[in-house]
Amino acid sequence: MNKRTTQKEQTRITILNVAQDLFSKKGFVCVTTIEIAQKAQVSHGSIFAHFSNRDELIIAAIERFGNSTVGRMHELADKRKSLRLVLDAHMQCLLENERFYSNLIRECSILPHRAYLLVIAIQAGISHHIFLAAQREMQEGKIKSIAPDLLFVTWIGLIHHYLVNQEMFGTTKPILEEYGAKLLEHFLNLLSLN
């Protein structure tokens, strides 16, 4: 890779890092490409040299988040980890990106349709890996048998309720840092045979 190509790729990464940071702090709708360019210390035109439009930048940020999250879930599923470990890994991925993800789920319905479809694909990948871990434990008689869709909707619904309604819980910490362990235990208790 020559110096120009390396520099071009580094500029793209910088723009994407800044965009993700701003999307995390302010939400997707409120952030402009001018603001991203200023904070990334690049010309406004540089944004469009790397992303054809603002929507493509949003898609790239969501893809990066999704690839990271689903990739970590895939690693654990391949290692045949327990449901608890897979759910905990999911929680850790969300905690690391909590503000970004909170804004994503709050604003998803008003983002470009491709962003919505991407969120659905990310959720499907996560759901698949959670169900693989749960299915092993169901077959071993360790947890209740539950349909894949209900399993995931119960898990993600619990998390989304806390993320979307953070203000109700009166914490200054990230909501998943404060309540994540409690949510995990509650969900696993719902599946318990005892």
Average pLDDT, the chain: 93
Question: Which pLDDT does position 77 carry in this prediction?
Answer: 64
Which pLDDT band holds residue 134 (cuts at 50, 70, 90)? Answer: very high
Which CATH number applies to 1-51? Answer: 1.10.10.60
Question: Which pLDDT does position 194 carry in this prediction?
Answer: 78
How many residues in the chain?
Answer: 194
Domain boundaries for CATH 1.10.10.60 within the chain: 1-51
Q: Is the pLDDT of residue 50 over 80?
A: yes
Which pLDDT band holds residue 78 (cuts at 50, 70, 90)? Answer: low
CA distances from 147 to 58, 59, 96, 132, 138 (A): 33, 31, 29, 12, 11
Model pTM? 0.91
Domain boundaries for CATH 1.10.357.10 within the chain: 54-191
Question: Which pLDDT does position 170 carry in this prediction?
Answer: 85
Q: What token pair was written down for 163?
A: 């993320």
Min mean pLDDT across 66-70, 78-82, 144-148 is at 78-82
Q: Among residues 139, 176, 134, which one has the least CA distance to residue 151?
A: 134
Which residue's entry shows tokens 């702090």?
25
Q: Is the pLDDT of residue 122 over 70?
A: yes
Q: Is the pLDDT of residue 71 over 90?
A: no
CATH superfamily assigned to domain 54-191: Tetracycline Repressor, domain 2 (1.10.357.10)
